[in-house]
Chains A and B, each alone.
Chain A
């Protein structure tokens, strides 16, 4: 419980090193400790005020004493010497400048407000930029953590997931990595308390935590054998989840919780600030399976990361992985043909997609700051012109050009310092706002904070701004024509060099504004385009809800069907509900974007890799009608189809174009990989419009749906 070291340093500097100074610092520190008990923020603010009050008072007293002593010994007036510009001059200018601020509060408010907005926006965006792009991920030697992908050249997809088979082969063959692991984000249900809780969690191989190199805050990490089925009933909690759901109880280690239908033991809690793979992960659990449990090698459903072995580089690892991928292609042509390897650093992967946006945003706010500077420079310039007479009087009393220049610069700096302080305060609150509006749109937002480097940046920006908007007026002032200015008094607006400067400023400002406006216009335009994209379904008037029952309570299919039927019937009975339907994965809601490979009856495929890939959804019969997805040919499913007697399926237009060509799809049969090696046949009864399933900007995927 000590006051901020920075403020103590400042205070020490202001009051000096005498015993009296030590007393003041001790008194303030003592009172700070006392006030700290009733709130940190209040105590900090109080301390800041006290430091400024006492420090300011001391500064003035000390300097005045010094000044008086000097004046007494040396009769030369210190005010307007043509010699060097000393501390005393500067303090004099500072006091004069502060008086100026008080004298014209309207002018001050406009100038400081303009600068604060510019500096605040710039600092806030820099904070985001620094956190997201520039600072290393919160893992040990994070630049050695590599995101590993299978690249699917058949479909031109560079980043595709793994199967556990792939992972095992890569792990065994590679020397470039000291460790490779797999993970996958999921949603699960924590039961056992009054209300079941939906939990975002990640399945991981035990090696993941070793790769990330972050020790647990409590308990332990996963052991290698906990990857095995039957040994996997252990979980690790995130710090946030531990706090919110388990009340930060250290006795949680060893406790059994009911998660996703099974009793699992909490073995560890990760430290605050740790996240993986995304911000939202509340819990981690081992996959609990061996590659053999996975079925097909071609079902690539997990994501991989690895840590580079000592002395290895990303490039050498990439070469080695490509070699391994080629060997695997030869060994398993059915599943691995066309499957290469693609590596990138974890941080490149995490920030890909946000990097351009952030740099551009930062560029825009920097332009805005420059506009603000030009604006303020213009205001200052008109004021300097209006002060022509005052400056002329100063010059006639012996103030050199340097002296007047320094005075104007100091005065201007006062505004920029006020603007900077207010700007940082704005940035501080702006960051919370930014976090709220961007939601999950940017990675690493939980790490956002204004730290020393941001403050340093803000100070730099403030000083640079101060120089930028001050140079013009200050330079202008050095061209004083004594005789004319004294005669003409304040009628100096619009004269020669001053007018040219102001015109140049206006032109600069206009050019910058137009650039920013065009950029903003384009952005709005893209947003409009995006909202105009036909998603294939009708959004307005539709509400969605997610239900994820714990499957051990509904072991039989009939029980689950009964649960959903009951649920749908009760929702349908609610006042205001017109109709209701269900699907296993909503479009554009994230997740479930892995395709499955299927065969058309009567077609022969060279290998598994040549089979058609479909996104697959299970629906209730009226789903298409409820979502407003149009029928192109055939018929919608009926409740009779739903009874389970008939295996019927609908496919999307894109699937027809891509896989069936001109032949009539109705009545054809599709074999779905449902356990039996030959697949289970489903009859196509209809073709529906395409739906954008994964994101608004990726093309509609060949898509098929069948009644559940």
Chain B
């Protein structure tokens, strides 16, 4: 992944996966994002992001037993990998560093 920072949506998806713990799969992640961030999420964008994060090694996944209501397909549960957590931390630090000393700007904008 090199030294690149995570995109905003990538961070949101990773954080939602962490929040969900053992229960993180497609539908639940979408619901979590929509509930917490209060914005509608493009389903297609989310799946593409999940794929990308897995390719980058920031997520790992396992497929559960197939169920009939899923048309005989299993859920793909995802968990954030060690490097995923490192990437999140890295992004967070970078942002915090950039925000340092800027609180008055926010106060002005209020």
**Residues of A at under 8 Å CB distance from B?**
1-3, 8, 15, 19-20, 22-27, 29-31, 33, 50, 53-58, 61
Contact = CB atoms under 8 A, between A and B. Distances in A.
Contact size class for B? 20 to 34
B71 A31 contact: no
Nearest to A14: B44
B73 interface: yes
B57 interface: no
B63 A54 contact: no
B47 A25 contact: no
Contacts of A31: 27
B45 A23 contact: no
Interface of B: 25-27, 42-45, 47-48, 50-51, 54, 61, 63, 66-67, 69-71, 73-76
Nearest to B71: A29
B70 A54 contact: no
B75 A54 contact: no
Contacts of B26: 23-24, 26-27
A42 B28 CA distance: 21
19 contacts: A2-B71, A19-B63, A20-B50, A20-B51, A22-B73, A23-B25, A23-B26, A24-B47, A26-B71, A27-B27, A27-B75, A29-B70, A29-B71, A30-B27, A30-B67, A53-B43, A54-B47, A55-B44, A58-B44
A8 B73 CA distance: 13
A28 B5 CA distance: 31
A9 to B, nearest CB: 12
A26 B42 contact: no
A54 B43 contact: yes
A55 to B, nearest CB: 8
Contacts of A53: 42-44
A58 B47 CA distance: 9
Nearest to A50: B43
Most chain B C-beta atoms within 10 Å of own C-beta, residue among A19, A25, A30, A56:
A30
A593 B30 CA distance: 70
Given A20-B47, A58-B47, A25 B42 contact: no
Contacts of B63: 19, 22-23
A67 to B, nearest CB: 15
A56 B69 contact: no
Q: Which of B26, B66, B73 has the most CB of A within 10 A?
A: B73
A15 B25 CA distance: 17
A53 B50 CA distance: 16
A23 B48 contact: no
A27 B48 contact: no
Contact of A27 (B25, B42, B61): B25
A15 B76 CA distance: 15
A295 B33 CA distance: 84
Contacts of A30: 27, 67, 69-70
A55 B56 CA distance: 22
Contacts of A61: 48
A1 B73 CA distance: 15
A18 to B, nearest CB: 8
Contacts of B69: 1, 29-30, 33
A23 B70 CA distance: 9
Contacts of B71: 2-3, 8, 25-26, 29
A27 B45 CA distance: 15
A20 B76 contact: yes
Nearest to A19: B63
A26 B44 contact: no
B48 A57 contact: yes
Nearest to A31: B27
Nearest to B77: A23
Nearest to A27: B26
Nearest to B45: A57
Contacts of A58: 44, 47-48
A304 B61 CA distance: 70
Given A30-B27, A30-B69, A30-B70, A57 B42 contact: yes
A31 B42 CA distance: 15
A609 to B, nearest CB: 71
